Structure 1
Amino acid sequence: MAKDILQNWEKRSKEHRKQYQQFLKRTDKNKVLKSLPALHEEAFEQVDCLSCANCCKNYSPRFKTPDVKRISKHLGMKESAFIDTYLRVDEDGDFVVKSSPCPFLAADNTCNIYEQRPSDCARFPYTDEDVLIKRQALTLKNSEFCPITYYVLEKLIQ
């Protein structure tokens, strides 16, 4: 039953975008927040991130100062060299990766800096926190390339 939800999810996420938008606008936020941890866990049981990695292939997390410090140290690089090699500043003034897919994504869809990855990566796809409701545009965007976000939204509107 749960796997059925994921059939043709890319197409269906685009078809359901308006429905998600309306739901997120008028939902009981407290009720949704209470249900998120269980739905988040259920979604991760249904979706194997390593078989997907759409987030790493198509999206860049923000690299905040603590992320830059931690990752550059791990790689044995000066922060300035790390920034020059891997990052650029986006339209919001945030550091993001220069190119897609992420330069730290390995051929088997694992992350070469997993233990030191940016906090945005560790928190993605935000399906167990209030970001899902507070940053609706981000949630809608994520639902079109992340099967976990799609799954959680589908379960919420059921």
Structure 2
Amino acid sequence: MKQEIDLEKYHQLALQKQAEHRKFLASLKKKPPKNLDKIVQQVHTEVFNEIDCTACANCCKTLGPLFTEADITRIAKYFKMRLPAFEEMYLRVDEDNDKVFKSMPCPFLGGDNLCSIYDVRPKACREFPHTDRKKIYQINHLTMKNTLTCPAAYLFVEKLKTRV
């Protein structure tokens, strides 16, 4: 049975630690440790051994990915749909001129928090919350933002602080 994740608790913790996290991540940018990429991979793996994304799926319920043309082509092909039909049914162009879902939660998220298009999901979904990136300090703004939505991102920063 999945252990329930208290999203509000993690959100409040992330809000309380914003200044501390910002300062820590900025320190990594100023003087990254030589083995930072290796530590990041270890911490990422450890966090995702503890956190079951399917017990949360908050990203799928609230954020929504940016769709690349490759994503659109791959998913439309999966549904055996023409590109314009797929886009008309699921996507809109946002204020940054990016293609995103018309509405949230993700239309491909099941009631069991599983993705019905997991094998062909958008690149942004595959990479979220970006905690396994090399040179993690290059995306500090994104990491900070993700700690507010994703319990795993919050735990990642907390654990990383103890390792660096």
Runs of 4+ in 1 over 6 A off after TM superposition: none
Report how many aligned residue pairs link the two structures: 153
TM-score, length of structure 2 as denominator length: 0.87
What do the CA deviations read for 1:27-54 (whole angstroms, capped 9, x no partner)? 1334432211111110011111111000
What do the CA deviations read for 1:5-28 (whole angstroms, capped 9, x no partner)? x99322111100111111111213
Q: 1:49 to 1:81 in 2, by over 3 A?
A: same
Task: Give the fraction of aligned pairs with identical amino acids, expressed as a percent.
Answer: 40
- Secondary structure of the residue aligned to 1:88 is strand
Deviation at 1:138, TM superposition (A): 1.5
Match of 1:125 among 118, 125, 129: 129
1:105 is matched with: 109
Q: Which runs of 5+ in 1 are unaligned?
A: 1-5
Deviation at 1:89, TM superposition (A): 1.3
Instruction: Tell me, yes or no, if the aligned pair for 1:9 and 1:150 is still in contact at 8 Å.
Output: yes
Q: 1:14 to 1:39 in 2, by over 3 A?
A: same
- More deviation, 33-42/101-110: 33-42
CA distance in structure 2 between the partners assigned to 1:142 and 1:42 by the alignment:
18
Instruction: Tell me, yes or no, if the aligned pair for 2:148 and 2:154 is still in contact at 8 Å.
Output: yes
What do the CA deviations read for 1:118-145 (whole angstroms, capped 9, x no partner)? 0111111110103742122221111011
Match of 1:45 among 45, 49, 65: 49
TM-score, length of structure 1 as denominator length: 0.90
CA distance in structure 2 between the partners assigned to 1:131 and 1:63 by the alignment:
24
Match of 2:158 among 142, 150, 154: 154
Q: Which runs of 5+ in 2 are unaligned?
A: 1-5
Amino acid across the alignment from 1:12: L
1:55 is matched with: 59
Instruction: Tell me, yes or no, if the aligned pair for 2:37 and 2:135 is still in contact at 8 Å.
Output: no
